Amino acid sequence: MTPKPLNSADASFLSSLEAALPADTLRAADVRYLEEPRGIYKGQPTAVALPRSTQEVATVIRHAGAARVGVVPYGGGTGLVGGQVAQDGAVPLILSMERMNQIRAVHADENVLVADGGAILADIQSAADAQDRLFPLSLASEGSARIGGNLATNAGGTGVLRYGNARDLCLGLEAVLPDGQIWNGLTRLRKNNTGYDLRHLLIGAEGTLGVITGAALKLFPVPAQTGSAMLVVQSPAAALKLLSLARDHLGEMVSAFELIHGQGMRFLAETGLDVRLPFDEAPEWTVLIDVGLSGGLIPADALETLFAAAYEAGLVTDGVIAQNQQQSDDFWRIREMIPEANRRIGSISSHDISVPLSAIPDFITQGSAKIAELGAFRINCFGHVGDGNLHFNVFPMPGKSRADHQNQREEIKYLIHDLVDQMGGSVSAEHGIGRLKVGDLERYGDPAKLSAMRAIKAALDPQGIMNPGAVLRQT
Amino acid sequence: MTPKPLNSADASFLSSLEAALPADTLRAADVRYLEEPRGIYKGQPTAVALPRSTQEVATVIRHAGAARVGVVPYGGGTGLVGGQVAQDGAVPLILSMERMNQIRAVHADENVLVADGGAILADIQSAADAQDRLFPLSLASEGSARIGGNLATNAGGTGVLRYGNARDLCLGLEAVLPDGQIWNGLTRLRKNNTGYDLRHLLIGAEGTLGVITGAALKLFPVPAQTGSAMLVVQSPAAALKLLSLARDHLGEMVSAFELIHGQGMRFLAETGLDVRLPFDEAPEWTVLIDVGLSGGLIPADALETLFAAAYEAGLVTDGVIAQNQQQSDDFWRIREMIPEANRRIGSISSHDISVPLSAIPDFITQGSAKIAELGAFRINCFGHVGDGNLHFNVFPMPGKSRADHQNQREEIKYLIHDLVDQMGGSVSAEHGIGRLKVGDLERYGDPAKLSAMRAIKAALDPQGIMNPGAVLRQT
């Protein structure tokens, strides 16, 4: 059953909604709500609702449902696949969670923190830290991303290897469902087998099945000692063997394991970004490893022992172990500045992919060879190799710009995505589907899963008002 | 829209199904398929299908759908809430996964194992162990429970504190959906954000949304060294502080943290079960702690240091640290025999509950006081205290039997469940809803969640053929 087309958020809808909300809850949406970081989508001029409470969110959703007007939930606006910007179709209302930005409670003795859906990720990290706890979700946009958005997109980042994705860090949710009902699922329980796991259904649904207004999050002990090293490896295959060796030595205490390609380091130099490279010349492949140890172990010693074993095994050829926090921060700045360098160079096509761990070397070899067949390009392949998640991004040669390759963009994308699909991988490892990859989901998604997704969407949001056009094509 | 009533699996349905399947796939169900461990439910005589492949499972489901006949998926038959036995309503077909019991692959370098849905949990543990890997799901019935059932019920057990529940150990699923479509979701990926997480929806749905025919599971490094201790604590509150101290010392290397009450130890003696108690007299409260350490740390030393610090802090009064594997096994035998001792004594009412960690001491005090107001009973309260999950079971005094208290059973149950609910807890922490707790879910479940669950069930299984009457009442 196809739902009727949505209506636009017109003057009459807005004035009726305004009457139902406290003063100053509805505004004209300024331009920041209509843009997104990659500049691919541009939202239509509309209004933004800025609710102060879960009840007000419910009021907004109920009114939108009654008027059959679409609602686009808005967190920090940092999503990379256009999930937060509706460019086409009836004009939706934007629902920003920015006023619901409080840490509701920290239960340090339970290792639980409860926050509003609009709480900024960095604020959550700080609130945990103030009580000597760790909230391990960590990503480049943590200063502006909001936890409701992190959960709606099941954000990844650099802590996944040890602590899991955003969904693994969530014990409970409070949300407004598409029919305007408030679901009070804000449990602090570690075990709760009472029916279908609505939490995991909303997590990763990118706002298409409801709005996350609150979350109970898992905290962890702060590791007694942390340390980092940059180790030069011969190849991606050697990096994977190094990961295996590191886990044999240190078990779950390996906190992060990032692969960096020489191209990324050369981009940093080329774009004038101020980082301290620990090697005279950018190595072809480097691993940035982080360890967080329990009491009684010394990171520099543990990393030294690992390095010696890896050198012995022929996996690493060189390496630098951070001797202090500053040096460790310098290493991480290299990793964190690479996406900025990429932006400055301007990629032709970027791919946030994952493949089974053992397929990584093959993927890089085959992917690079296929791109080379198309012409001369630069490839920056880097990322969370411990999770099988690579950012495989294709750039023009020096002197050329992305615009020069505009007509090759699609060909490059499908070339990489088809390869990923053949290898049993995912064409969206951590960024989600949003609006950018709706076609990819249709192309590569399992048909039974897609039909189940459509049935669930129709069951929970029969009018299709929640984030219309994201994840599933608006019918 | 209420679905039409189901039809029984009558002779005409069975003969048509038989014609669609290879020889010897359909049999009369012998009595073991019609019973369950607690003896509460008794299934109606019917047939059992024993498919050898996912395609055959799909054939069964498609035929059942066409004939509007219910299907009860059957794993190891070890569930404790009657999810595997349909006593009332139209006679369903039983679908046993016992012939699909193979380990399909072990990807040791990726820490992934892929198994049939009918693989026995202990066989999966062994297959991982043979490749020097750990599959950490561990529970009393692991010798007969099958992984599809473990996942369908999101099983818990003793490894949850460190490694999570069954759902946390699953990377991907293969399943037959209620419309007979096969979902090929058997990914080995650690990160995959491509649409709604059907995996987490099927996990914990207890066979009401489909049949799990295969699973990709996470493996872990085997801890270099393991050790155990039994530590005598003053109170449940002291046990929680001890947990916190243990995690400060050992981080995630605390693998298990079980609370044992003196009543459990006295039941072991009373029922003549052969265990080696490390104390002359059963302490009121004991903690069984397990640690799995990475290289370079010695468990007995680490536990000795922890004991000294806990003694210093006034949290423990006595303790025994296992000096070898035999002693460690002896400790665990005490914990694992307690459920058997309970069975031999015969509980009046058993409660598998969880509360927020900090509410545990209050829950035990208030729950015990409320039971005492009803009369003279014995309470055995034990379990996975690190997860906030207690088994709070009420028994008759010596000389009385459970039958003597038949008429108090319901009162006791609601008294405990109401208290759990007031404390923000769960009335089914790890066993699930099955048929036993359908009423509890209706009584305590969040209304918005319940209505979403019903909508999802109707969307994916409009005829209601999958495990009818489990989790949600058959309308």
Q: pLDDT tens for residues A269-309?
A: 999 998 999 999 999 999 999 999 877 788 999 999 999 99
Chain-chain contact of B357 with A294 (C-beta, under 8 angstroms): no
Whether A122 contacts chain B with CB within 8 A: no
Tell me B241's DSSP state: H
User: Average of pLDDT values for B394-412?
Assistant: 95
Chain-chain contact of A389 with B190 (C-beta, under 8 angstroms): yes
Chain A residues lying within 8 Å of B194, measured CB to CB: 426-428, 433, 437, 440-441, 444-445
> Which of B114, B190, B353 best tests the A interface by mutation, with the highest count of A CBs <10 A?
B190
Chain-chain contact of A190 with B224 (C-beta, under 8 angstroms): no
Whether A447 contacts chain B with CB within 8 A: yes
Chain-chain contact of B205 with A188 (C-beta, under 8 angstroms): no
Residue A194 distance to chain B (closest CA, Å) = 6
CB B276 within 8 A of CB B330: yes
Res. B111: pLDDT tops 60 = yes
Residue B208 distance to chain A (closest CA, Å) = 10
Chain-chain contact of A191 with B354 (C-beta, under 8 angstroms): yes
- Which one, of B236, B256, B428, lies nearest residue B335 by Cα? B256
Distance CA(B99)–CA(B184), nearest Å, equals 20
User: Average of pLDDT values for B185-197?
Assistant: 96
Chain-chain contact of A358 with B203 (C-beta, under 8 angstroms): no
Res. B67: pLDDT tops 70 = yes
- B1 pLDDT band, cuts 50/70/90, is low
Q: Looking at chain A, which residue has its C-alpha nearest residue B204?
A: A196
Cα radius of gyration rounded to whole Å, chain A: 23
| pLDDT for the residue numbered A171 | 98
**How many cross-chain Cβ pairs, A to B, lie less than 8 Å apart?**
284
User: Average of pLDDT values for A441-446?
Assistant: 97
In chain A the domains, ranked by start, together with CATH numbers, are 103-221 (3.30.465.10), 225-422 (3.30.70.2190)
- Taking 3-state DSSP, the helix, strand and coil percentages for chain B, each rounded to the nearest 5, stand at 40, 20, 40
Chain-chain contact of B426 with A209 (C-beta, under 8 angstroms): no
Q: Looking at chain A, which residue has its C-alpha nearest residue B359?
A: A110
Q: Is B358 left (phi over 0), alpha (psi -120 to 50) or beta?
A: alpha
Q: Which residue shows structure tokens 């922490």? A: B429
Tell me: the pLDDT tens digits for A223-267? 888 999 999 999 999 999 999 999 888 888 899 999 999 999 999
User: Average of pLDDT values for B431-442?
Assistant: 97
> Which of B162, B174, B194, B420 best tests the A interface by mutation, with the highest count of A CBs <10 A?
B194
Tell me: the pLDDT tens digits for B112-164? 999 999 999 999 999 999 999 999 999 989 999 999 999 999 999 889 999 99
How far are the Cα atoms of A127, A151, B78, B255 from residue A187, in angstroms, in the given order?
Answer: 19, 16, 28, 23
A107, A185, A193 ranked by CB distance to B154: nearest: A193
Please give the span between the terminal C-alpha atoms of chain B, in angstroms, as a whole number.
10
Q: How many CB atoms lie within 10 A of CB A154?
A: 23
Distance CA(B310)–CA(B437), nearest Å, equals 40
Q: How many CB atoms lie within 10 A of CB B362?
A: 14
Structure ipTM: 0.96
Res. A329: pLDDT tops 80 = yes
Q: Which of residues 225-244 of B touch A (CB under 8 A)?
A: 240, 244
CB B366 within 8 A of CB B384: no
Distance CA(B109)–CA(B102), nearest Å, equals 20
Whether A462 contacts chain B with CB within 8 A: no
- A338 pLDDT band, cuts 50/70/90, is very high
Tell me: the pLDDT tens digits for A195-223? 999 999 999 999 999 999 999 999 998 88
| pLDDT for the residue numbered A293 | 86
Q: Looking at chain B, which residue has its C-alpha nearest residue A193?
A: B432
How far are the Cα atoms of A149, A176, B31, B148 from residue B36, in angstroms, in the given order?
Answer: 44, 39, 10, 17
| pLDDT for the residue numbered B3 | 78
Tell me: the pLDDT tens digits for A391-405? 999 999 999 999 999
Backbone angles phi, psi at B196, to 5 degrees: -60, 145
Whether B1 contacts chain A with CB within 8 A: no
Chain-chain contact of B183 with A244 (C-beta, under 8 angstroms): no
Distance CA(B259)–CA(B381), nearest Å, equals 8
Whether B200 contacts chain A with CB within 8 A: yes
Pairing assessment for the beta strands A71-74 and A93-96 based on DSSP bridges: parallel
Whether B167 contacts chain A with CB within 8 A: yes
User: Average of pLDDT values for A94-106?
Assistant: 98
Res. B287: pLDDT tops 90 = yes
Q: What is the mean pLDDT of chain B?
A: 95
Tell me: the pLDDT tens digits for B5-27? 999 999 999 999 999 999 999 99
- A1 pLDDT band, cuts 50/70/90, is low
**Going edge to edge, which strands form the sheet with A26-28?**
A26-28, A47-49, A93-96, A71-74
Chain-chain contact of A197 with B204 (C-beta, under 8 angstroms): yes
Chain A residues lying within 8 Å of B456, measured CB to CB: 196, 201, 456, 459-460
3-state secondary structure of B413: helix
| pLDDT for the residue numbered B310 | 97
Distance CA(A236)–CA(A228), nearest Å, equals 19
Res. B242: pLDDT tops 60 = yes
% of chain B beyond a pLDDT of 90: 91
Instruction: Give the pair of three-digit tokens for residue A475.
Output: 């019918």
| pLDDT for the residue numbered B248 | 83
3-state secondary structure of A227: strand
Residue A458 distance to chain B (closest CA, Å) = 8
Q: Identify the burial level of A440 via C-beta atoms within 10 angstroms of its C-beta, where 0-12 means exposed, 13-18 middle and 19 or more buried.
A: buried
Tell me: the pLDDT tens digits for A3-46? 789 999 999 999 999 999 999 999 999 999 999 998 999 999 99
Q: Sign of the CA dihedral B139, B140, B142, B147?
A: negative
Distance CA(A247)–CA(A241), nearest Å, equals 10
- B38 pLDDT band, cuts 50/70/90, is confident
Backbone angles phi, psi at B331, to 5 degrees: -60, -50
DSSP element (H, E) containing B171: strand B170-176
DSSP element (H, E) containing A218: strand A211-218
Tell me: the pLDDT tens digits for A37-49? 989 999 999 999 9
Chain-chain contact of A445 with B195 (C-beta, under 8 angstroms): yes
B295, B430, B449 ranked by CB distance to A191: nearest: B430
Tell me: the pLDDT tens digits for A406-443? 999 999 999 999 999 999 999 999 999 999 999 999 99
Q: Sign of the CA dihedral A250, A255, A261, A262?
A: negative
How far are the Cα atoms of B82, B135, B166 from residue B121, in angstroms, in the given order?
Answer: 20, 9, 11
Whether A196 contacts chain B with CB within 8 A: yes
Q: Sign of the CA dihedral A433, A199, A91, A50?
A: negative
DSSP element (H, E) containing B392: strand B389-395
Distance CA(B184)–CA(A445), nearest Å, equals 10
Backbone angles phi, psi at A334, to 5 degrees: -60, -50
Chain B residues lying within 8 Å of A440, measured CB to CB: 194
Residue B399 distance to chain A (closest CA, Å) = 35
| pLDDT for the residue numbered B318 | 96
Tell me B30's DSSP state: P
Chain-chain contact of B471 with A195 (C-beta, under 8 angstroms): yes
Chain-chain contact of A189 with B356 (C-beta, under 8 angstroms): yes
